[in-house]
Amino acid sequence: MDLGLVIHSYGGPLLFVWAWLQGEAAVIVGGSLAAQGYWPWWAVWLVACVPATLGHQIYFALGRRFGEPLLTHLPVGWQPAIARARMLVGANAGRVMLLMRFAYGVRLPLPILCCAAGIWALLGAVGLGLMVHVLSPRAGSRLS
C-alpha cells in the first residue's frame, strides 16, 4: 500500500484526534507533511489548531467542574504536593497559562489544575492571543 494514499485517506482524522490529545507534536508532523506536499498548509493549520484550542477549553471546563472533587480523591500522600502545585499555579497564573501551551506532556493535567486553582482560562487565552497579535511586528506592519 502506498504511504501517500494512506496519508491522504486517514491523515486528516488522525491529525485531528492527535492534535486534540497532544497538539504540539501533531502540528510538527502536520507541518512536515504540508512541506512535502501531502496537504496545503491552511488545511494542516485548520485541522490541527481548531481541535488543539477546543481541547484546551474543554479541559479547562472539566477542571472547573470536576477538578476539586478529583484532586480531593487522590491518595493522601499526594495532597501536600497537590497543595503546593495549586499555590504555585495560582501565584504564577499568567506564566503557567503561557508556558503550558509549549510544555510537552502536561497538556492534559495543567488546564484541569489551573481551573481547580480558580483561574478563568478563556479570557486569559483570548487576551494572550490578542496581545501576541498586536505586538507581532508582522501584524503591526499590516495595521499601518
Residue 22 to residues 52, 98, 114, Cα–Cα distance (Å): 8, 16, 18
**What is the chain's pLDDT, residue by residue, as a tens digit (144 residues)?**
676 777 777 878 888 888 887 777 777 888 888 888 888 888 888 888 788 778 777 877 888 888 888 888 889 999 898 888 888 887 887 777 777 766 766 767 777 777 777 776 555 556 556 656 666 665 555 544
Q: What does the pLDDT read at residue 144?
A: 46
User: What whole-number distance in Å separates Cα of residue 2 and Cα of residue 81?
Assistant: 50
Single-letter amino acid, residue 7 = I
**Torsion over CA of 108, 114, 120 and 121, rounded to 10 degrees?**
-30
User: What whole-number distance in Å separates Cα of residue 122 and Cα of residue 19?
Assistant: 19
CB of 24 within 8 A of CB of 103?
Answer: no
